[in-house]
Amino acid sequence: MREGLWQAVLGEIELTVSRASFVTWFKNTALLKEKDGKLIIGVPNVFIKQQLERKFNSLILETLQKNGVEDLGVEYKIYTPKVEGGGVKKDTDEDVEILNNPTTKTQPRTNQTSSLTHSYRQGLNERYTFDNFVVGSGNELAYAACQAIATSPGTKYNPLFIYGGVGIGKTHLIQAVGNAILTKNPSAHVVYVSSEQFVQEFLDAIRFKKNTDFAGFYRGADVLIVDDMQFIAGKEKTQEEFFHTFNALHQANKQIIISSDKPPKDIPTLEERLRSRFAWGMSIDMQAPDFETRCAIIQNKAVSHGITLVSDVVEYLANNVQTNIRELEGALNQLLAFCEMRELEPSLQVAQTLIGAAQTRPKHISAKQIIERTAKYFQIQVGDMLGPKRDKDIVVPRQVAMYILRSELHLSFPKIAKELGRKDHTTAIHSVEKIEKESAFDTDIRSAISEIKERLYA
Ligand code: ADP
Ligand code: MG
């Protein structure tokens, strides 16, 4: 019934906040249901829940309003997203019905990506500039070529073909070129499009018989920037169209910039004639930045948040996330938010607990290990924890164990209750909620949780 609503809201929010914020705070959210005049939004953990409540609540409400939801409030609830590739975990006890959840389906991003790039066409995302791009080994060549193009488009490297792995700054850099050109010459017709969007528009143009508009639009560009060229692979008709666009622009000395995750020769089913066109200009292999550059990126981003980080925190982050700058930004954001909420200094220890745990998460731990670790930490017997005792020094550890079962293993509440020998799953719900709340201000509980986790993953 609210089909597409949350998708639309996320699509708009994605345009408003930085990419890293979006990925960190919004990506794994879902509209679960409507209840008592409120939309229940599912979020993966308590940090994200708090952040959405504190920082993004009004943005979310506004965006909902724009999408026609006037009279409903919003409540955030921690939930277990469906996992990709089958293996559906569901909170059977919460009658959670996922109305629409674009980000947890198998092909989650397609819709969002198209709406995103579509708006970008009106203007590039001005967040991506040369000024906030840190230059270092791995990206300096690409940076220099992009600068040269920004200075005199259409003359030197045409086309410029930049390729490299995910999250290393390709989009940032090629958009920075577009932004720089527009700053100098606001009437320049800069067109930025992802190849997916190009394909989609081309198909629409054929379907709605507006092929001439489509061709005209792209052939009228002064600068054409095509991101993620690999997605054009196998689309023969679109490649042919692109080939003609390319020729028209190139002949008129218009600048063409292309990015891809691999070099032209490795894009399967890329037409030979396009391949040879791409070879006319310059191809640059962009590499993940080295350690020093990663440190500089982190320090820069922190400063833009008004925070100066001590060097061991910077180095810890830079060492832990090595190839993907988007993830690096995500880790930093999570750390900063965590510390902000608790009024802590972002220290090495906090970073280790927060990011360290997330990093090593793939390691398999069992419910039994969690219960044993928790009992050990509180120096009580596992048997007591599973038994009927209701003394405070047994009850609290039991609740902490439930909380960790929930946050680390995403078990359903009935399953958590069962693991701890309880019959009634509402006990589990209350326990998890209680610890969630308390850990926000109770340092003892918080350090218990982080220490238990640290040992679990050690
Ligand atoms: P790609 O297109 O290669 O997947 P992006 O350009 O989207 O990667 O970069 C991912 C994120 O990392 C963006 O938020 C971008 O601003 C940031 N980023 C990447 N490289 C740098 C850099 N050298 N300096 C500053 N930010 C960077
Ligand atoms: Mg990109």
Reported as a single tens digit per residue, the pLDDT across 10-37 is 988 888 777 767 877 888 888 888 888 8
385 lines ligand 1 (CB under 6 A): no
Q: What is the pLDDT of residue 295?
A: 94
Q: Does the pLDDT at position 394 exceed 60?
A: yes
Among 59-63, 185-189, 451-455, which stretch is predicted with the lowest mean pLDDT?
451-455
133 lines ligand 1 (CB under 6 A): yes
134 lines ligand 1 (CB under 6 A): yes
Rounded to an integer, what distance in angstroms lies between the CA atom of residue 424 and that of residue 429? 10
Among 207-221, 293-307, 325-339, which stretch is predicted with the lowest mean pLDDT?
207-221
Query: Which percentage of the chain shows pLDDT scores above 90?
Result: 41
Q: What pLDDT digit, counting tens, does each position of 419-439 carry? A: 999 988 888 888 988 888 787
Q: Does the pLDDT at position 195 exceed 70?
A: yes
> What is the pLDDT averaged over residues 237-263?
94
Ligand 1 nearest atom to the CA of residue 164, by list position: 3
Q: Which residues of 132-143 are buried (b: 16+ CB within 10 A; e: fewer)?
A: ebbbbebbebbb
Measuring CA to CA, which residue among 127, 101, 45 is closest to residue 78?
A: 45
Mean pLDDT in the chain?
83
297 lines ligand 1 (CB under 6 A): yes
Check: CB of residue 297 under 8 Å from CB of residue 139: no
Check: CB of residue 237 under 8 Å from CB of residue 269: no
Taking the CA atoms of 441, 445, 448 and 452 in sequence, report the sign of the dihedral they define: negative
Q: How far is CA 107 from CA 111, 204, 230, 284, in A?
A: 9, 20, 17, 30
Q: Does the pLDDT at position 112 exceed 50?
A: no
Q: Does the pLDDT at position 115 exceed 50?
A: no
Q: Does the pLDDT at position 2 exceed 90?
A: no
Q: Give, for ligand 1, the residue of 14, 127, 172, 179 to mutate: max count of ligand atoms closer than 8 Å to Cβ.
A: 172
User: Any idea which ligand is nearest the CA of 137?
Assistant: 1
294 lines ligand 1 (CB under 6 A): no
